[in-house]
Amino acid sequence: MDAATTLKKHDLKVTKIRLAILDTLGKTELAKPYAELQATLAEFDRTTLYRTLLALMEKGLIHKALEENGESYYALCSDCSIETHVHDHMHFKCTTCGVVQCIELPKRLKFSAPGIHIDSIEIVAKGQCSNCN
Amino acid sequence: MDAATTLKKHDLKVTKIRLAILDTLGKTELAKPYAELQATLAEFDRTTLYRTLLALMEKGLIHKALEENGESYYALCSDCSIETHVHDHMHFKCTTCGVVQCIELPKRLKFSAPGIHIDSIEIVAKGQCSNCN
DNA sequence: CCTTTAAATGCAACACGGTTGCATTTAAAA
DNA sequence: TTTTAAATGCAACCGTGTTGCATTTAAAGG
């Protein structure tokens, strides 16, 4: 399914920056840092980029990963839909080359603690990627 | 062990802001948002606060939790030492009242994926705390 | 207790991403 | 083609992170 169709299916108007974002993020399975996204899409205003990312996240087309320094990384959602935005994956950052990738988890993780009710879990791991070790 | 002794033991000079930070974070088992920390310690320059937090983190006396919006939360380290800064806990944020707390995990978590080597893992969960559900 | 010095602090300044308001443009429905 | 709600661009502000540098201070040594 092409990007335009995907947008329409999620009640989003087909615009240049939306196609550009989906195109950029679709070129790799890695998560892209915000700064790189902004550089690639420099022809657009950064406010527009900001709001477009919000819109695409809200519709579950993309998701954001936060690294320890607070840097944001964005990636396409392959396992999300409008109804259930669920991530059965963790975000892994290679401390050597710096790439961030989504890694599928074998099964849904369940944590529990007395008294509390857990809705969602985010996992961020660091180490060496397959190219760097 | 009092704060001054703790600082000396970690080769840190005993200064007013360091005592104040340890005192503030020690008053609760919850993690404090940066903004609250800055408000409480408004008598000190924010650069000093910034560098002091870095120093205390480097020595393993405190640690930082990042929430989804990128907000930083700080808490004392109870299970860290100079040699092994390890967290067998996750950070839990109540989406109702907003408090962030460290929750001990029953056992060390192990994840693996083909080709990659994982050094450390950070887990952030969201849901309702015991007061709010 | 006094001197010395490396470390800590305060201040200024800048970078960057997040965020909002508002006027203009545009996608797409009628 | 007209219409309109949505999307965009621009300006502006905020908070946090970060660095350089001059001043102050903790604490070691005499």
Residue nearest to nucleotide D5 (CA to C1'): A13
User: Could you please report the per-residue DSSP string of chain B?
Assistant: --HHHHHHHTT----HHHHHHHHHHHT-SEEEEHHHHHHHTTTS-HHHHHHHHHHHHHTTSEEEEE-TTS-EEEEE-SS--SS-----EEEEEETTT--EEEEE-SS-----BTTBEEEEEEEEEEEE-TTT-
pLDDT of residue B133: 84
Measure, in angstroms, how far nucleotide C21 C1' is from residue A47 CA.
Answer: 12
pLDDT of residue A85: 46
* Residue A44 approaches strand C within 7 Å at CB: no
Name the nucleotide nearest B11; use CA and C1': C7
CB contact under 8 A, B119 and A113: no
Mean pLDDT of B39-44: 98
CB contact under 8 A, B129 and A119: no
Has residue B48 got a pLDDT over 70?
A: yes
- B65 band by pLDDT with thresholds 50, 70 and 90: very high
Mean pLDDT of B28-47: 96
Task: Choose between B90 and B19: higher pLDDT.
Answer: B19
Nucleic strand D contacts from chain A, 3-62, CB < 7 Å: 12-13, 15-18, 43-45, 47-48, 51-52, 55
pLDDT of residue B93: 95
- Give the pLDDT means over successive 10-residue stretches in chain A (133 positions): 92 98 94 97 98 96 91 82 56 94 77 87 92 90
Mean pLDDT of B3-13: 95
Has residue B107 got a pLDDT over 70?
A: no
- B105 band by pLDDT with thresholds 50, 70 and 90: confident
Has residue B82 got a pLDDT over 80?
A: no
pLDDT of residue A82: 41
CA–CA dist B38, B44 (Å, integer): 8
Has residue B84 got a pLDDT over 60?
A: no
Q: Are B71 and B29 in contact (CB under 8 A)?
A: no
What is the third-level CATH fold of B3-127?
Arc Repressor Mutant, subunit A (1.10.10)
Instruction: Say which range, A77-86, B13-22, B87-96, has the weakest mean pLDDT.
Output: A77-86
Measure, in angstroms, how far nucleotide C9 C1' is from residue B42 CA.
Answer: 14
Bases of chain D with protein Cβ within 7 A: 6-12, 15-20, 25-27
Tell me the domain boundaries of chain B.
3-127
Name the nucleotide nearest A13; use CA and C1': C27
Interface test with B, best of A89, A123, A131 (most B CBs within 10 A): A123
Nearest to B60 by CA among B74, B41, B80: B80
Q: How many CA atoms lie within 13 A of B10 on its CB side?
A: 21
Nearest to B31 by CA among B76, B67, B80: B76
Has residue B86 got a pLDDT over 60?
A: no
Q: Are A101 and A129 in contact (CB under 8 A)?
A: yes
